A and B are shown apart, each in its own frame.
Chain A
Amino acid sequence: MAPYTGIPLSPAELQYLHTSLSQDPPIRPDGRSPTQFRPLVAETDILPSTNGSARICFPDGTEAMVGVKAEVEKTREGGQNVKGEVDGKTGKDEEMGDDSNRSARSGRGWGEWVEIGIEIPGIRDDDALPIFLSAMLTEALLADAGLKDTLWINTRFHWRLYIDILLLSQPLSYPLPLLSLTTHLALLSTRLPSLISERDEDPLFNDDWEASTHLYPRSKADGSSAQRPPITLLVMSVGEMIYFDPSADELAVADAVVALSVTSTSTTDADALPLKLVALRTIDPPSRLTAGGVPNVLSTTSTTGTASTGTTGTGGVLAIREKDQGQSVWRPPRGGVKRAVVGRMIKAVVEKGGVGMEVMAGLAGVET
């Protein structure tokens, strides 16, 4: 196995994969269509001592579990404003009635109230991968101000949400979509006890779990959530082609890998797009660290090649490798991705009836 990448493929195999993925129509190693996802096993509400939990198992053997815990915490006093501006503002808010509670909440939440911890076996928690993953998931969650404001209880107290993500298996392929989908399910099933104290009293909660409210409130009609937590999808490009849910083998030949986070829009307008993009990051593809192949003309062992090893100096070898440009043998990809390709990826996820909607609908079908 190649060091630093963990890709057990030779340059010839990589070239074969790359060619089959870059032709139109493409052939994926497992016979899926470019937008097709691998089947998965999911269950929610599995941990009794959490506010919400979920487990997802991918067919390649990777499995993740998420537990969401909420704790009441005293809100730290805001900035000491020498001019007393903050004091004036709070006074005004207290005059509002309960009916405007929702509007009084808006903009009150802090991003720090949501904490995501990721544990991946065999990787230290200060390693780049878990930190990158948790940053990606956090910024997608916080892009929607609704979650932060739901955590606001009154001017003195708030909920603190701990989202603990456990990868139970080795990270065989890039674990981002798995962790994101599991987090989505766990947050959908998360419930907070209902509040019975009023205004700025010390919070007192109803101990009836049946009366608890969902963190993402559900519509009464069909029990599905109107607001939904974001999902993060991994999309990769090979040449002009784009692929969803790439497996480890496919990632090994990717030209570019992009993680897109989408969430549902709250508008009821029929013309508006059902999903909106809240975060996007490019991810360093493992293909950049793979070993390049040796062109036939440079091979010293080949009998058919016109190997004139004596005459080609270092400059000559470099020139031949450059001239080949990865046409006859595998060469790790260079440069980045075209803007137009990124645009097509976004469109494929966000558009009506696109991949994002499909995944959201699939996850909504998971029995709680």
Chain B
Amino acid sequence: MQTDRRRLNAPPGGTTPPVFAAPPDTKLHRPTRTRKPDEHRKLFLRTGIVPSASGSAYYEIPPQEPQPTALLVPQRSSLKITCTVHGPRPLPRNAAFSPNLLLSAHVKFAPFATQNRRGYVRDASERDLGAHLETALRGVVIGERFPKSGCEVVLTILEGEEDGWGAGGAEIKGGGWGIMTVLAGCITAASAALVDAGIDCVDLISGGVAAVKDAGKHGGQENAVVVLDPAPSEHDGEITAACVVGYLQSRDEVTEMWMKGDAGAQVQTLIDEAVKAASLVRAVLAEAVKDGVQAKIDEAEDDAAMTGSAKEGKGKSKEVVMTG
């Protein structure tokens, strides 16, 4: 694996995040899920935030409940993703001919995004996320309309979803479920940014996650429950399987599906619930895209009005010259 030789780095083998002792009279409570199983967390999406990129979007799942003030470590992680799209632009001169748009996706966690610090060089999990995202997006863009061109989708995760509950010094021993929520967020954000960049797509693609929660251990029920949009910190080792889909609603197709874990007999339900989550996200996505387009139209109208008034001004000055 490539090592980072440009900076002074922390010792290899990982560092340990600080553990904060709680005040003696407070009792730490693991956050519990207060939403219904088929309820998605509220999310925020806006396009056109980076003026220098041809398309951009910002995606956030803000904390749904206020943080208790006595604690320094956040109880719940909130997801924050920025996405920029550069292109379509010509391939470099030495590149081979491509009849289609070459789309590449780069996913990078900011060093401060998770409780364990991430380095500056992309590690295996980030590259893996990039590969997933490319699979999701290449099916959506209409590549043959942009021959000999490339397009880069760059995602920076400012705050990632933790794999577990980190407050109180308990070591996070997650099954890697947090990264699935991150991927779903990346798909949605990238879709909004692609539309903002004006790249032809067959449909809007939205990401959704669902998980099988093993309620037998804690709830005493026989059947496992399928929950939409799981927050790993709220489910202590109860998640047995999770599924991410990148869903095209108007075509009823998935371009990306990633399932892991043992869902047992609930595989089909899990996929359907993930698709349901993606359809819920799509409502927000469509609204954000509409707002973005409206903002562009308003801007164009303002510009037109400005140039119009400037022309009038010119005309007046000419008149002045003529009369003078």
A7 to chain B, nearest CB (A): 12
Scan residues 260-285 of chain B and give those whose CB is less than 8 A from a CB of chain A: 260-265, 267-268, 271-272, 275
Residue of A nearest to B175 (CB): A111
Instruction: List which B162-209 residues lie within 8 A (CB) of chain A.
Output: 168-171, 173, 175-176, 202-203
User: Within the complex, which residue of A132, A278, A336 is in contact with B246, where a contact is CB–CB below 8 Å?
Assistant: A336
Contacts A291-B100, A318-B145; is A336 near B138 (CB within 8 Å)? no
B138 & A281 in contact (Cβ 8 Å cutoff) = no
Chain A hits for B168, CB < 8 A: 81-83
CB-contact partner of A332 in B100, B128, B253, B256, under 8 A: B100
B300 at the interface (CB under 8 A from A): no
- B254 x A143 contact (CB < 8 A): no
A69-98 vs B, CB cutoff 8 Å, 1 = contact: the mask equals 000000000111111010000000000000
Q: How large is the interface on B (under 10, 10 to 19, 20 to 34, 35 or more residues)?
A: 35 or more
CB interface residues, A 345-368, toward B, < 8 Å:
346
B62 near A: Cβ within 8 Å?
Answer: no
Give per-residue flags for B30-47: 1 if the beta carbon is below 8 A from chain A beta carbons, else 0: 000000000000000000
The reply to whether the CB of A27 lies closer than 8 angstroms to some CB of chain B is no
Given A3-B97, A83-B168, A258-B257, check contact A332 B143 (CB 8 Å): yes
Cβ contacts under 8 Å, A321 to chain B: 144
User: Does B142 have its Cβ within 8 Å of any Cβ on chain A?
Assistant: yes
Residue pair A338, B252 in contact (C-beta under 8 Å): yes
B286 close to chain A: CB less than 8 A: no
Structural contact, B135 and A135, CB atoms closer than 8 A: no
Q: Which residues of B contact A114 (CB under 8 A)?
A: none
Q: How far is the CA of A344 from the CA of B214 in the complex (A)?
A: 25
Say if the beta carbon of A190 comes within 8 Å of chain B. no
Inter-chain contacts of B144 with A (CB < 8 A): 291-292, 321, 331-332
A79 CB contacts on chain B under 8 angstroms: 19, 169-171
Chain B CB within 10 A, most for which of A131, A134, A288, A334: A334
B267 — which chain A residues lie within 8 A by C-beta? 277, 346
Q: Which chain A residues border B252 with CB–CB below 8 Å? A: 338-339
User: Do B19 and A336 touch across chains, with their CB atoms under 8 A apart?
Assistant: no
Is A342's beta carbon under 8 Å from chain B? yes
Determine if B99 and A110 form an interchain contact, defined as CB atoms under 8 angstroms apart.
Answer: no
Encode contact with B along A172-193: 1 for CB under 8 Å, 0 otherwise: 0000000000000000000000
Nearest-neighbor residue (CB-CB) of A139 within chain B: B260
Is B8 in the interface zone, CB < 8 Å from A?
no
Contact surface of B with A, Cβ cutoff 8 Å: 1-2, 19, 21-22, 96-100, 102, 124-125, 127-128, 130-132, 134-135, 138-140, 142-145, 168-171, 173, 175-176, 202-203, 243, 246, 248, 251-265, 267-268, 271-272, 275
A residues near B, CB below 8 A? 3-4, 78-83, 85, 110-111, 125-126, 128, 131-132, 134-135, 139-140, 143-144, 258, 273, 276-284, 288-292, 318, 321, 331-339, 342-343, 346
